[in-house]
Amino acid sequence: MGKIRKQHVWMGWMLLLGIFLLTGCETEHRFVKSTAFKGTHQIVLTFAGPVEEAWAKNLDHYAVYEKPDPDILLGLAGVSLSQDRTTVTLTFRDALNQEQPHLIRLKEILSDGKSQGGALLTVKKAYLGYLVSVLLGAMIIKNFVFTKYLGLCVFFGTSQKKSTAVGMGVTFTLVMVASAMMSWFMYQFVLKPLRLDFLQIVVFIGLVSLSVQAVDTILRKVNPALFKAFGVYLVLVIANCIILAVPLILANNEYNALESLMLAVGAGTGFLIALFLMSSVRERLETANVPPTYRGLPIAFITAGLFALAFMGFSGMSLF
């Protein structure tokens, strides 16, 4: 009986988690049932009851903008209303960046002559798909090494052998996740409420240093061989552009805890992938007949450039 109860409890928690992840289009107003993107230029609003046609088709009743850029309103091309007057479709002049959450500010909603009040609605992808897109975006589509060219000092320094590259990639990912989550917590609950956003770079650097020092101490005690292999490069993680860029991105985009975790894991795993690919090629280059002028870093830079060209093929890809 005890085991059955535990299974039921776990199933209940998993069900709640699934509902939480899949309900990415819930709204913050009692009269609005759902919001969703449709195609590349449209947003669909579904109301709990019929709305007045004159109100629905008035473009002045809608103010739409991306969450990170509230000062830039998106241009509406038109509004259509379904026959039952419960669904409004907003059509925009330009394609919507669905990677970013959008906010819609509605003026006083009118339904059968009654006011339902104003509303501020959030539109974003289905939450599970959105989380996966953040993860894969940081990992492959917008790989920090091959598309943003960040973290190259550690990248070239530790990509000569697979063993060192994999160890560095795993350690880097752990430091990335730890520092990103601490940075998110510090930003959301300290810097932002106290309006100290201008200190975020200084604070994030301090948190990154703390994370790196913790990993340094643990590795020194647990695995001295791996620590010796990293040498000075583990210390360079403190000044690595990627590990500082991730906290800045999650703060700028107002990511929540899950989104920040996905971004950190994706960025760290993407760095691991880049290191593994590069180390695989560089090991083969050691036995290749490379002209003396190009041996060492020159051929490594050429190889990295070819990888960057290959990763450009993922640019603009939208999986969810």
- Does the pLDDT of residue 247 top 70, yes or no? yes
Q: How confident is the model at residue 230 (pLDDT cuts 50, 70, 90)?
A: low
Handedness of CA 124, 125, 131, 136 (dihedral sign): negative
Nearest alpha-carbon partner for 99 in 71, 67, 139? 67
Query: What's the predicted TM-score (pTM) here?
Result: 0.70
Q: What are the backbone angles phi and psi of residue 298, rounded to the nearest 5°? A: -55, -50
Task: Report, as an integer, the average pLDDT of 169-190.
Answer: 90
Name the least confident of 14-18, 112-116, 148-152.
Answer: 14-18
Q: What is the pLDDT of residue 11?
A: 58
Task: Report, as an integer, the average pLDDT of 207-226.
Answer: 82
- Does the pLDDT of residue 187 top 90, yes or no? yes
Q: How confident is the model at residue 22 (pLDDT cuts 50, 70, 90)?
A: very low
Helix, strand or coil, per DSSP, at residue 6 = helix
Handedness of CA 225, 227, 230, 232 (dihedral sign): negative
- Which one is predicted more confidently, 240 or 291? 291
The domains located in the chain, with CATH, are 24-123 (2.60.40.1220), 131-314 (no CATH)
- Does the pLDDT of residue 257 top 60, yes or no? yes
